[in-house]
Structure 1
Amino acid sequence: MTDIELATAQLQWLTHAPDLILPPESLRLPAAFTLELNEVLLKLAEDPGRLLVDRREFGKGRLGKQFEDLTSLYFRLNCQIIDIKRNIQIKKDNITLGELDFMIQLPDRWVHLEVAVKFYLLDGDGSHLDHFIGPGRADKLGAKWRHMIHHQLPIAYSPAGLSTLASLGIDDFTQAAWVKGALFYHWQQESVPAIPLLVNPSHDRGWWVRHSELTSMKEHYKVNNIQLISKPDWLMPIDVLGTYHQQSLSDIQIESLQHPVMAAVLTGNGDTSRGFIVPDDWGIS
């Protein structure tokens, strides 16, 4: 895909995919930040050079940085936004205390915005945010949210944070949190469990399956093809993924997998869905 094609696909995902977390009203994304896809793409077509701002290679790097680059592009296409400052390091005595994702200037105020994109698998009954776990089991949705609320956002109001922002000409601001992504449920789960209040009831959903269960799942859903979704393509709509070549996974490749991988399954009737194939020992610990 060209950079423009990649940006178009990712912007489609960003504007259409539901938010993963619904934060308290005081931390909701300002209405002025939100654009319709057609408006976004029109602005991008008018000035494709916006992709090259900060000499960043769009669509590359770790997923979190990709998401920051994508949201930065999205905001730069918004004519209501006057200025954007990114990755502001907060230091005290040459020790880095943290980093602010964005400071965004609207006509009437600055907004400190923290962003995150997460893809978590349910490992539990779903009643607590910590039951949603990263594919590598190294992080949890609850831990990520607590870090955002109790560290990333408050650090802007610390003495060091206020001093740093004042040096940038920012003396007053509001705050917001924006979390996108998807949650994945075991493929045999008959119904979606009760979910924590902060999780958007309309969040994007997928499945996860153990290696040893894959044959049963393929037979149940009449799957005729399984394709690997590489990490740079996680931030795309599933229908876009199906329109260009992805790496098909053979049974031998699947059996040799040592860690979870995201995959798309294509059924005989043309349906496409995505989820994670995980080793047999992935699960409730």
Structure 2
Amino acid sequence: MNYISPEVNRVARDLSWLSTSPEIISVAALRQAKIPSLNAGRELLSCAFGDVPQISSTNRLGLYFEQLCRFQFEQHPEVNIVSANQQIIHEKHTIGEFDLIIEHLKTRIHFELAVKFYLQIGPGDQLSHWVGPNLKDRFDNKYERLVNHQLKLSENPFVKAWLDAESICIDEIGLITRGRLYYPYACFMEADFLFPVEVEKSHLQGFWMSGSQFRQEQSLAEFSCFELPRGFWLSEVTSHEILTFQPFDGDGVSQVTAVVLWHDNKEHMRGFIVPEEWLAKAQERISI
């Protein structure tokens, strides 16, 4: 049996996660291309050592996610990669970038790719009620850019000229999105999920709470809690990986910390523990 390094195992599990996990943005209302099946994760586990793809886990999850998507398509027998991460520049000004253009059964498809993680602030039924952990990102802004700018890139006259020069005709467009929405802990435990209509109903969920809440919450006593490194935010953690993680006790929380709760030798849930002042800053962010 071939040796599979922990790094390759993690990539394979993330590839499998990509192929089986739900979208985070619902594509029902969009002119969405049908996505060819993505099943490379299992095949990667059987690769001979040395034949593995040049994909490495990184704190830049957006880039890592794009690498995973591209590899999945590269392994598909009916798909050719036409272009990836192609910037379109006109007179030294970047108009936009095609994340991925593929050809599938003689159809050229422009895909935009995104993996995002948002925490609920406020009622939750509007995209603007969801912010990124570092408060630099808001769901409504990302959605607006994805749908009304990036997916419409091929409609720009300068981009059309570039496509014509490259003999590329975009037949369809589509989104591939993954990620997780994090609900206040009480809502999470009660499965009281209020989310925008733009969100896929079967999306992945997590929780968030403050450091003081974490220390006082009796329902967490049965779990062991560990810090969850950014490179492990996608697929579930294994019993081997958890041994390398730092225990988390909630004392002196000075920054937003991703955590995984562990019990009976498996992952049960994951979330974010935030500093006491984070909520006030987040509420300011959603009112901008």
Q: Residue by residue, what CA displacement relative to the aligned partner does 1:74-114 show, whole Å, maximum 9, x if unpaired?
A: 11111110234111111111211111100111122110100
What stretches of structure 2 of length at least 5 have no aligned partner?
none
Q: CA deviation at 1:60?
A: 2.4
Q: CA deviation at 1:265?
A: 1.1
Give the structure 1 partner of residue 20 of structure 2. Answer: 16
The structure with the largest helix share of the pair is: 1
Change over 3 Å in CA distance of 1:271–1:221 after alignment to 2: farther
TM-score under structure 2 length normalisation: 0.86
Change over 3 Å in CA distance of 1:44–1:222 after alignment to 2: closer
Q: Find the residue that maps to 1:144 and give its secondary structure.
A: helix
Choose from 247, 253, 256 the match for 2:252. 256
Moved beyond 6 Å, runs of 4+: none
d(CA) in 2 for partners of 1:61, 1:269? 26
d(CA) in 2 for partners of 1:127, 1:257? 29
**8 Å contact kept, 2:111–2:176:** yes
d(CA) in 2 for partners of 1:279, 1:112? 40
Q: CA RMSD in A?
A: 2.3
Q: Find the residue that maps to 1:58 and give its secondary structure.
A: coil
Give the structure 1 partner of residue 273 of structure 2. Answer: 277
Give the structure 2 partner of residue 162 of structure 1. Answer: 160
Work out the number of aligned pairs and report it: 273
Report the residue type matching 2:210 in the other structure: R
| Identity percentage of aligned residues | 25
**8 Å contact kept, 1:121–1:135:** yes
d(CA) in 1 for partners of 2:221, 2:108? 52
Give the structure 2 partner of residue 220 of structure 1. Answer: 219
Q: Residue by residue, what CA displacement relative to the aligned partner does 1:7-60 show, whole Å, maximum 9, x if unpaired?
A: 2110121122211111245433414x123x4x64226735874613xxxx5222
1:107-146 equivalence runs, <5 A: 107-146=105-144
Report the residue type matching 1:45 in the other structure: S
1:42 equivalent to 2:43? Answer yes
Give the structure 2 partner of residue 205 of structure 1. Answer: 205
Q: CA deviation at 1:152?
A: 0.9
What stretches of structure 1 of length at least 5 have no aligned partner?
none
Change over 3 Å in CA distance of 1:272–1:205 after alignment to 2: same
d(CA) in 2 for partners of 1:152, 1:183? 22
Q: CA deviation at 1:250?
A: 4.2
d(CA) in 1 for partners of 2:65, 2:112? 12
Change over 3 Å in CA distance of 1:10–1:169 after alignment to 2: same
Q: Find the residue that maps to 2:213 and give its secondary structure.
A: helix
d(CA) in 2 for partners of 1:8, 1:266? 22
The range that moved more, 269-278 or 60-69, is 269-278
Q: CA deviation at 1:2?
A: 3.7
d(CA) in 1 for partners of 2:223, 2:135? 29
Change over 3 Å in CA distance of 1:174–1:133 after alignment to 2: same
